[in-house]
Amino acid sequence: MMQEDMIQILKPNGELVDSALEPKLSKEELQKLYHSMVMVRLLDERMLMLQRQGRIGFCVTCLGQEALAGSGLALQKNDWVFPAYREYVVALIRGMPLLDMMGQYFGNELDPLQGRQMPNHFSHKETNFVSISSPIGTQLGHAAGAAIASKIKKDKNVVITYCGDGGTSSTDFHAGLNMAAIHQAPCIFFCSNNQYAISVPVEKQTGVKVLVDKAKAYGMRGVRVDGNDVLAVYQVVKEAADRAREGKGPTFIESVTFRMGPHSSSDDPTKYCPKEKFEAWAKKDPIQRFQVYLEKKGLWNEDFDKKLKETLKQEILEAVEKVSKAAPPKISTIFEGVYQDMPYHLKIQHNELLEEAKHKGEFIDTSEKFPL
């Protein structure tokens, strides 16, 4: 089970380490995992292409970290997710519609957020997927607070929050883990150690050799997992969630993985990451590894894979075409979505704006493209 103190169920070649470790997942759950992993990889390719074409302003890719899907499958419906940047596969596997996600990339009237967030900062109320934000680590304290609230309410909900290796060097990391540990809150801190904090290698931004050792300082359970093994990711998050629900407190998980693409569409990783590192990690591809496992289960073959990718590409294409034709958010949304009952002074401004719009005619979008 352990390789350099790292939990692993599937070897890089897709073989089981030990059949006794295999999680008891149904055929439907295994297919859901694979479907989500392939969807997010195809979505990454498409959105990066759209950004290069100038049709969207910004995107962050999940390339190489698709096994994050396992963490989403391990959660229950009413659990809460406080993401970092790359966890949109968790939103998808928990039920966020592709059309809503696509709308948020474009920021128009089909965007559930009505253009109020920068691209790629998804949120989805129906699945308790809290908004992605740019500052490093701020979500960790929010998650700890939500988990403490859950404990007070005794609702048995678990909170999971994500960060990168760089996030463990932030002040918010200390605040979040310290508070969760003090209150024995039902919180899971999931760190995707993808080897780089943007362009800074992990060994240059922290003094510890193994990030999971940071859990000891806060008196909480720490687990290190192969982050390219979707079954292992599922298993450790499921165990952490079960413990949290039983009142056994928080868990810090270090998921050892690698970012196979840029930090964002504004980044060029070839400037700081050696080619040899990419080549070595490509042999540990999480999707290829899972394919071997599914094939032995009789759930995967090349014909199935080809048809699935064709179907998913068509879904993405149709979503892009629909959203790209949508109009900008209505001008009235400037005043909406903040107060349940709009204050009197804002009602006056709201009505004056609508009256002015009538005189000026059709709205023309003169804004510049998002600068990133």
Residues recognised as catalytic: 259, 263, 272
Interior angle at CA 334, CA 330 and CA 337, nearest 5: 100
Give the residue among 248, 181, 231, 188 at the shortest CA–CA distance from 68. 231
Q: Rounded CA gap, 184 and 181, in Å?
A: 5
| Cβ–Cβ < 8 Å for 38, 238 | no
Please list, residue by residue across 244-283, b when 16 or more beta carbons sit within 10 angstroms of its beta carbon and e when fewer do. Answer: beeeebbbbbbbbbbbbbbbbbebebeeebeeeebeebee
| Cβ–Cβ < 8 Å for 243, 249 | yes
- To the nearest 10 degrees (0 to 180), the angle between helices 230-245 and 27-52 is 110
The helix (H) or strand (E) run that includes residue 340 is: none
The helix (H) or strand (E) run that includes residue 192 is: strand 187-193
Region of residue 128 (left: phi > 0; alpha: psi -120 to 50; beta: else)? left
Residue found under tokens 């253009």: 115
Helix (H, G, I), strand (E, B) or coil at 75: coil
Give the residue among 304, 228, 251 at the shortest CA–CA distance from 69. 228
Separation of CA 284 from chain center: 20
- The 3-state DSSP composition of the chain as helix, strand, coil percent (nearest 5) reads 50, 10, 40
The token duo for 58 is: 């910004």
